[in-house]
A and B are shown apart, each in its own frame.
Chain A
């Protein structure tokens, strides 16, 4: 027994070493960093312990901007993408012909490089030498525009970011929801049909309750994912997000850590802890709501 005990630890050793060095230690360390005031990365010294870093970050206009952007992005894209994914999945699971082809196409954005395809979205919205770009051309058909989506007004940039974010997150949601819909027992639908229940009523009384756990799972992971938005914004507006007024919380952390305005791991840590606290709070609220409403 003793020998087998040792052997097990031998198998675990590499994984545990990686986990401790790159996950557990940093987790503790980030809280320590966030409390060390006036940390100097060159001399690795600091003045004292306190909440100054948090106060600095919370008073930084760039942080406030990033906070605002992230919240707008989260509260627009999560509900919209979930509803859109639900509609698509419902249509998808009620057809037979071409179903696989549609599923494959819808999943494609998942396997593409966010930065690379973000550039494509940028040029769709961006003016070229002699034209206002493709999207503006389409808008002009409806008598609108032209709007400078990439360097123009705040709402236009936010709109592009939201559209791209939804485009990026939909594949995962569609995939999971289609799976959930397929796992609903056919007998419930047959029973409803025998009772002469209408389609809409069947959806709200049978389908929705049965897939509600998955739906809430998607909402929760959607919130978590959306709060971490960053590379989509970089793809559309470049790395200098503060100037573009399009920075996100995660972007703020990285800018504080490294880059033109970087070199402040303490501020970055404080911002990371704040982000974590926000995500944790939202997730808890989501879980509380789901406990009330999920019918399982």
Chain B
């Protein structure tokens, strides 16, 4: 991908939670940039910190959490602003207007007692963009754009009257109605069936071509990443361990964790061949370490077949083995 104008830049972002009198660090110094019109996938397993990273950018952290260090610079037409330092009121003006959000489970993030129309027009009215009548017209147009059939009638529907796929489309309409420059989508297809997931991925790609927004796509699904992201960042225990253009990272992963993840998802046709050969799926051994009790050196060293004393003693710094690529591994060159 060519260099794009930066839209969102995370610099050394660090978020801590207080848990039972102790502090844990689910996001520990994350650097990440997203350009306009670009989709960056943030990939990781549970506890990797990918969702906390997204929540930190949106400033939707629970009361037990705080951004401890670093910046989240959003570049707007009016100039750059550090989201990490904004007060609550200024942040409300950003959310919905400059950043749209879509979550995993539309049923829990939509308000069950408000109609779809009320909820889609709310961001327009809150941000004082237009009159109620204009808002209604734009809501119909937006629902049509996200592929909801019979949109004028659907404005009066309640969330429970829509299917899971339709609810996710309504969520996307709500997130994009103010035409934000950035869309943050946290596992937006995870709760959906595969045929519906394919529809939503297709829809987001089409909307991005039309509206040019940057997308931060948080997911654990490597197939969806391959399908729709331009760049990918792999998180493990609070840090980005590898990043780069999707095609390059998937063709030549440099971090042993990335290699393990990719190998554990057999590609169509491979699994049967593997089994006929009496082979086994390539599993990553062991368990994800607890954030309460992280290893002293590289967090992946407890599961890594390449780990040495160096790895167990000292966390690796980020190195850049090529343009747009980064990896945190003492032994990446052995890949």
Whether A and B are associated in the same complex: the answer reads: no
Interface, chain B (partner A; CB < 8 A): none
